[in-house]
Amino acid sequence: MPRKPDRPCSYPRCPELTDGQYCSWHRREEYKKYNRFKRDEFSKRFYSSPEWQRLRKKKLSQNPLCEHCEREGRVTPATVVDHIVPIKEGGAALDINNLQSLCRYHDDVKGLKDRGMV
């Protein structure tokens, strides 16, 4: 069996040898980066779409206050419309029932939770 020649990984300064472009570790890294990029592209397009802008306005006129603050007995104007089930987890992007109005603070908290950081 002829063996494929090993080449150095294309990642800068990575000493691993590979028969592809990247070593197995950096192949995974590149794949993750690519997925993140795709997702960013999608959200940029989605959040600037007229459909979303319209739905967002409708939601804010129905619930002008932060729904989390309301639950805690506080009254804070909402500045953010958030997906209860994130789109990337299969939540409906344009379903008003999957939306909640949040203040800046609660949006940050939820964002961290979604990323598994709280």
Binding site for Zn ion (CB under 5 A): 9, 11, 14, 16, 23, 26, 66, 68-69, 76, 103, 106
CA distances from 81 to 67, 72, 104, 109 (A): 10, 18, 10, 14
Token couple for 88: 């990337």
Give CA–CA dist 105/100, Å, rounded.
Answer: 14
Looking at the Cβ atoms of 79 and 98, the one nearer to Zn ion is 79
In the bound complex, what is the minimum distance in angstroms from residue 46's beta carbon to Zn ion?
Answer: 23
Looking at the Cβ atoms of 93 and 106, the one nearer to Zn ion is 106
Looking at the Cβ atoms of 87 and 109, the one nearer to Zn ion is 109
**Distance, C-alpha 35 to centroid of its chain:** 11
In the bound complex, what is the minimum distance in angstroms from residue 108's beta carbon to Zn ion?
Answer: 10
Please list the residues that pair with 7 across neighbouring strands: 18
DSSP string covering 85-98, please? S-GGGT--TT-GGG
Looking at the Cβ atoms of 15 and 50, the one nearer to Zn ion is 15
In the bound complex, what is the minimum distance in angstroms from residue 67's beta carbon to Zn ion?
Answer: 8
In the bound complex, what is the minimum distance in angstroms from residue 110's beta carbon to Zn ion?
Answer: 10
